[in-house]
Structure 1
Amino acid sequence: MKNIVFTLFAILLFSCQNNAQTNKNQEAVINAKPIEVPLKNGKAKAYFASGCFWCVEAIYESINGVDEVISGYSGGHTKNPTYEASNTGRTGHAEAVEVIYDPNVVSFETLVDVYFGSQDPTQVNGQGNDRGSQYRSIIFYQNQEQKQIILKKKEALAKKLNTNIAAEVYPFQKFWIAEDYHQNYERLHPNNSYIQNVSIPRLNRFKAKFPELIKKNH
Structure 2
Amino acid sequence: MRYIQHLFMAVAILLATSCQSKTKQDKLSENTSEKTKTPEMLEKLSPQDLSKYETAYFASGCFWCVEAIFESVRGVKEVISGYSGGTEKNPTYEMVGGGQTSHAEAVEVYYDPKEISFVELVQVFFGSHDPTTLNRQGPDRGTQYRSIAFYKNDDEKKIIESYIQALKDQDVYSGALITTEVTAFTKFYEAEDYHQDYEKKHPNNSYIRNVSIPRLNRFKANFGDYLKEGAH
TM-score range, shorter chain: 0.7 to 0.9
CA-based RMSD of the aligned residues comes to 1.3
Letter of the 2:86 counterpart: G
1:207 corresponds to which letter in structure 2?
K
Residue equivalent to 1:208: 221
Alignment partner of 1:176 is 2:179: no
Q: Secondary structure at the match of 1:216?
A: coil
CA distance in 2, matches of 1:77, 1:70: 20
Give the number of the structure with larger relative contact order, counting CA–CA contacts within 8 Å between residues 6 or more apart.
2
Q: 1:200 is aligned with what amino acid?
A: I
Q: Which amino acid aligns with 2:223?
A: F
Matched, 1:149 2:159: yes
- Pairing partner for 2:64 from 29, 39, 54: 54
Q: Percent identical across equivalent pairs?
A: 61
**Structure 1 Cα separation of the partners of residues 57 and 125 of structure 2:** 10
Q: 1:118 & 1:40 partners in 2: Cα distance?
A: 24
Distance 1:40 1:176 in 2: 16
- Stretch deviating more after TM superposition (39-48 or 71-80): 39-48
Answering whether residue 108 of structure 2 is matched by residue 98 of structure 1, we say: yes
CA distance 1:65–1:190, change in 2 (3 Å): same
Give how far 1:90 is off: 3.2
Q: Corresponding residue for 2:208?
A: 195
- Segments of structure 1 that go 5 or more residues without pairing to the other structure are 1-38
Measure the CA separation in 2 of the matches of 1:174 and 1:128. 26
For 2:209 and 2:98, the matched residues in 1 are separated by: 26
Paired AA for residue 216 in structure 2: L
1:165 aligns to what? 178
Aligned counterpart for 1:139 among listed residues 132, 138, 149: 149
What is the Cα deviation at residue 57 of structure 1? 0.1
Q: Distance in 1 between matches of 2:50 and 2:199?
A: 27
Asked if residue 127 in structure 1 is aligned to residue 137 in structure 2, the reply is yes
Q: TM-score, normalized by length of structure 1?
A: 0.80
SS of aligned partner of 1:96 = strand
Taking the aligned partners of 2:117 and 2:137, their CA distance within structure 1 comes to 25
Aligned equivalents of 1:210, 1:87: Cα separation in 2: 30
**Distance in 2, Cα, partners of 1:163 & 1:196:** 29
Q: Larger C-alpha radius of gyration, 1 or 2? A: 1
Cα deviation, 1:59-111, whole Å, max 9, x if unaligned, reads 00000000010000000010000011112323110000000000110000000
Match of 2:36 in 1: none
Report the Cα distance in structure 2 between the residues aligned to 1:89 and 1:207, rounded to whole angstroms.
Answer: 31
CA distance in structure 2 between the partners assigned to 1:41 and 1:170 by the alignment:
23
How many residue pairs get aligned? The number is 180
The letter of the residue matching 2:205 is N
